[in-house]
Amino acid sequence: MIIKFERVSLAHKDRIMAFTAESPYRNCDYSFANLYNWGGYYDTQVAFHKGMMIVRFLSSDGRPACLMPIGDGDFEGVLADLNADFKEMGYMLTFMAVTAEGVEALNESYCGNIHVLANENYTDYIYEREKLVTLSGKKLQSKRNHINRFKTTYPDYKYEEISAANVEDCIALEERWFCNSERTDDIKAERDMVVKALREHAEIGMLGGCIRVDGQVIAFSMGMPINKDTFGVHIEKADTAFDGAFTIINQEFAAHIPEQYTYVNREEDLGLEGLRKAKLSYRPAIMLEKQIILLRCEQGQ
CATH number for position 147: 3.40.630.30
Whether 301 is in a domain gets the answer no
- Both 97 and 163 in one domain: the answer is no
In a domain, 146, yes or no: yes
Same-domain check for residues 104 and 69? yes
What burial class does residue 104 get, using C-beta atoms within 10 Å of its C-beta: 0-12 exposed, 13-18 middle, 19+ buried?
exposed
How far apart (Å, rounded) are the C-alpha atoms in residues 170 and 185?
Answer: 22
Can you list the pairs that 112-118 forms with residues at least 24 positions away whose Cβ atoms lie under 8 Å?
113/295, 113/296, 113/297, 113/301, 114/293, 114/294, 114/295, 114/296, 115/293, 115/294, 115/295, 115/296, 116/291, 116/292, 116/293, 117/291, 117/292, 117/293, 117/294, 118/289, 118/291
Are 80 and 187 contained in the same domain?
no
pLDDT tens for residues 227-262?
999 999 999 999 999 999 999 999 999 999 999 999
**Structural domain count of the chain:** 2
Mean pLDDT of the chain: 96
Q: What is the pLDDT of residue 113?
A: 86
Model confidence band, residue 301 (pLDDT cutoffs 50, 70, 90):
very low
The percentage of residues in the chain with a pLDDT greater than 90, rounded to a whole number, is 93
Residues 161 and 108 in one domain: no
The percent helix, strand, coil of the chain (3-state, each to 5) is 45, 25, 35
> What radius of gyration, in Å, describes the C-alpha atoms of the chain?
20
- The answer to whether residues 162 and 111 belong to one domain is no
Same-domain pairing of 109 and 135 = no
Residues 136, 212, single domain; the answer is: yes
Q: Is 66 within a domain? A: yes
Do both 272 and 164 map to the same domain? yes
In a domain, 269, yes or no: yes
Query: CA-based angle 26:292:237, to the nearest 5?
Result: 50
Q: Band of the pLDDT at 119, cuts 50, 70, 90?
A: confident
Structural domain of 65: 6-122+290-296
- % of the chain with per-residue pLDDT over 70: 98
Q: Are residues 116 and 264 located together in one domain of the fold?
A: no
Same structural domain, 83 and 111: yes
- Of 57, 39, 46, 40, which is closest to residue 20 (Cα–Cα)? 46
Low-confidence winner among 94-98, 250-254, 297-301 (lowest mean pLDDT): 297-301
Tell me if 135 is assigned to some domain: yes
Asked if 91 and 174 sit in the same domain, the reply is: no
- Domain identity same for 254 and 141: yes
Spacing of C-alpha 274 from chain mean position: 19
Please report whether residue 279 resides in a domain: yes
Query: Is 235 part of any domain?
Result: yes
